[in-house]
Structure 1
Amino acid sequence: MSTSQRMRSYRGPALFSHGFRPFFLLSSAWAALAMGLWIAMLAGAAPLPLAMDPFSWHAHEFLYGYLGGVIGGFVLTAVPNWTGRLPVTGAPLAGLVGLWLLGRVAMALSGLAGWLPVMLADLALGLALLGFLAREIVSGRNWRNLPVLALIGVFAAGNALFHLEAAGGGAAFEGMGMRLGLAAALALIALIGGRIIPSFTRNWLAARKSPHLPVPFNRRDGMVLGLTLAALAGFVAAPQAAPMPWLMLACGAAHLWRLSRWQGPRTRPEPLLWVMHLAYAALALGFWAEAAAGLGLVAPGAARHVWLAGAIGMMTLAVMSRASLGHSGRPLHAGGGTVALYLALLGSVAARLLAGLLPGQPWLLHLSGLLWIAAFGGFALLYLPVLAGPKRAAKAVSGRPGAA
């Protein structure tokens, strides 16, 4: 049975007909709910019986909780397209979603259980995804995507290390486990974003017969990725080393140069495209922000959120909205509601940066959190009919439909 035949023969709930549907819906809802809980913690409340400090819970649930769910949805959607093998649907997909929910509940109630059961519950989905991805790559002989498998493995290892550091009583949100998972996420953006952004842009521009197309991946892109791995390795292992700010500056400049070759300014009429270019720009600027923090020019927390909220938040929101529209048979065009989500997230990132520059203005942190809730809670509400409803018959779309 082919992938298309498998999808046509599926008769269960639409929500479990494709990996992106439940994971994107629940992950976005969790991003909004967890931010609401974090705002309550900032106000002095203790809404959850946590075993770790609130800052570590906050960092973990947005990096490993929210992003872990989005990665699950992306992998389960993209890998069948990459390998031509069957997608995970129905009860097996519901089981994977259950593993993700188990991790969120375990983390929220971690003060009621020992650290080991909590860690095992939280790692369950990541290990299951690794097994799925390894099987698909080997069975489909899709060796090109081995780096994706390796980076997801590093992401899972960072999560395990985060739990071990928290169990040891340390501030895990400042530890190596946090940096390792963040580095893996940023490398995935550089690798996969470097594939899909110019590809989607090329398709859109070519459909409009533009003579200006993105430069295809070449050896220089490989050099940028090599520099990125070196910078991120230093960020994980020796973030305070004297050469690190200069390496970060060079890496940020390299990514801005790479981005300049993808014809981003020509995508202004289509928000689904320019938001991806903007997210990649946040990846580049995040290297510069880390350099500024290393030189004592910017507060480290504010600098880190250029990556966390800007690059990761914006890229995941962009991918979720595009994949949800394309795979559900809808036109690949962002309407006014989706644009409002993007603008809310931009406002959240800007407010968080200002909060770091103006530490005497705590209302900026609350504003940033509320705008984040508007972006991701708004996505869950706006895209609920898309993600939980049946696929529409394909219509004329902008570019190639469906590619995650």
Structure 2
Amino acid sequence: MGADDNFKAFETKPVHLPFRPFFLVAVVDAVLGGSGWLPSAFGLQAFGPAGLSAGDWHRDMLLFGMVPAVLTGFLLTALPRWTGHRAVSPRTTHLLILSWACSRAGFLVVSPSLGLTFSSVWILALLSIAARAVIASRDRRDIKIVLLLAVFCASNGLVAASYQVELALRLALVSIISLVAIIGGRVVPALTVAYVESAGGRIVLSRSTPREYAAALATGSALCSWVVAPEAQLTGFACALAAFSQAARAAQWKGWRSLSSSTVLGLHIGYGWIVVGFGLLAIHIFAPAMLGQATAVHAWTIGAVGTMALAIMASMIRKHGRLAFRPSMPATCALAAMTSCCLSRLLIEALPAYFGLLASLSGALWIVAFGLFLLAYGRALSQVAVK
């Protein structure tokens, strides 16, 4: 699919847009997940289910709440265009939203395990919808998305059952970073071309097929090795190679041509955090006394996932709302706040004496970023068109 087909204006007749409710609930989960961390940064009791630590609250609300909400909204909207399969019905969207509501109610009122169980059901439903679309259209290119959703669903189930939790969390993170790399590899260069051409410029992206395959192989090998042997020297070499290959891949997309568009630039920055995460993970493995694993993980979760979530949601809203690349100060500030949030969290390793200050600053900036996003796009997301 070319850039023009990817980003042509949305039809004028009313249409069901699944991303609207899911992007809204993603913001809700993002704010709840960030808020849960703030009290504990100063040694206070965080709110949430009894017996759940602030870290677990923070992790579960974001990893198994916000992330699947963004994925659901994006994939339900994008897959029909990618596969040619019919779009999901409003009823299906409503049932998925009900699954999210049950997950939140179970998590907050009954127990975290019940909430995570409902979350597994929700992700399993998304998996079945994606698999049906991909299989029916014989879309081989998107089989990997279905497989990664299956891994993510399985990891959610393992955490819900409190079985091999550390392994399950690595599986979840690996599947998410892989999905970000795949989706980013389509959206980032296509939007870069669309933006430059909309501004009257010319741009040609020379994407090397061997380089793309090398990046995919190196990244897959590094992530699989990290899941199985997170501290092995071989994993460190694999991560260093993945960082180099992903940097070479991203350089093909000429991100410097999008400096005047915060949304497109945000996509490049978000993808760049994948490279940083691999590099930091390699440093941790070779010099664990110098750098903790949490630093690399947060480069991925805050930098890559958080930034890409904001930028991709903004891009989809703009596309379907006929906003094109119109500048938005709140949206620009949201991306700046997310970048500052990630840098604040990464500084904790270097300045452990300021843990409380930096952790609370990072959590506050995370909430500010999503609050500004809602300020920029809340009206567009609240509009309902279901025919």
- TM-score, structure 2 as length reference: 0.90
CA distance 1:64–1:390, change in 2 (3 Å): closer
CA distance 1:94–1:381, change in 2 (3 Å): farther
After superposing the two structures, state which structure 1 stretch, 151-160 or 377-386, moved more.
377-386
Q: What residue number does 2:364 align with?
A: 370
Supply the distance in 1 between the matched residues of 2:153 and 2:284 (Cα, whole angstroms). 27
Residues 346-396 of structure 1, C-alpha deviations (whole Å, 9 max, x = no match):
1111111112211110211101111100001222233111111268xxxxx
Q: What residue number does 2:331 align with?
A: 338
1:163 is the counterpart of 2:163: no
Q: What residue number does 2:119 align with?
A: 122
Give the gaps of 5 or more residues in structure 2.
1-8
Supply the distance in 2 between the matched residues of 1:36 and 1:55 (Cα, whole angstroms). 11
Q: Which letter maps to 1:68?
A: P
**Alpha-carbon contact 2:46-2:53 (below 8 Å) kept:** no
Q: What residue number does 1:314 align with?
A: 307
Q: What residue number does 1:285 align with?
A: 276
1:347 is the counterpart of 2:340: yes
1:197 Cα deviation from its structure 2 partner = 1.0
**Alpha-carbon contact 1:328-1:387 (below 8 Å) kept:** no
Q: Which letter maps to 1:305?
A: H
Q: 1:296-315 maps to which residues of 2 (within 5 A)? A: 296=288, 297-315=290-308
Q: What residue number does 1:14 align with?
A: none
**Alpha-carbon contact 1:198-1:216 (below 8 Å) kept:** no
Q: What residue number does 2:17 align with?
A: 18
CA distance 1:118–1:336, change in 2 (3 Å): closer
Q: Which letter maps to 2:344?
A: A
**Alpha-carbon contact 2:21-2:381 (below 8 Å) kept:** yes
Residues 20-40 of structure 1, C-alpha deviations (whole Å, 9 max, x = no match):
100111101220122112212
Give the gaps of 5 or more residues in structure 1.
11-16, 392-404
Q: What residue number does 1:398 align with?
A: none
Supply the distance in 1 between the matched residues of 2:148 and 2:284 (Cα, whole angstroms). 26
CA distance 1:7–1:124, change in 2 (3 Å): farther
Residues 258-317 of structure 1, C-alpha deviations (whole Å, 9 max, x = no match):
111111111111111111111111000100111122222212222211001000100111
CA distance 1:360–1:100, change in 2 (3 Å): same
Q: Which letter maps to 2:94?
A: A
**Alpha-carbon contact 1:26-1:380 (below 8 Å) kept:** no
Residues 102-152 of structure 1, C-alpha deviations (whole Å, 9 max, x = no match):
2222223354x8x4x444312111010011111111222222211111111
**Alpha-carbon contact 2:32-2:61 (below 8 Å) kept:** no
Q: Which letter maps to 1:387?
A: L
Supply the distance in 2 between the matched residues of 1:107 and 1:56 (Cα, whole angstroms). 12
1:257 Cα deviation from its structure 2 partner = 1.1
Give the SS at the match of 1:262.
coil
Q: What residue number does 1:93 align with?
A: 93
CA distance 1:28–1:217, change in 2 (3 Å): farther
**Alpha-carbon contact 1:51-1:110 (below 8 Å) kept:** no
Q: Which letter maps to 2:119?
A: D
Q: Which letter maps to 1:257?
A: A
How many residue pairs get aligned? The number is 373
Q: Percent identity?
A: 27
Supply the distance in 2 between the matched residues of 1:51 and 1:19 (Cα, whole angstroms). 35
Supply the distance in 2 between the matched residues of 1:351 and 1:9 (Cα, whole angstroms). 43
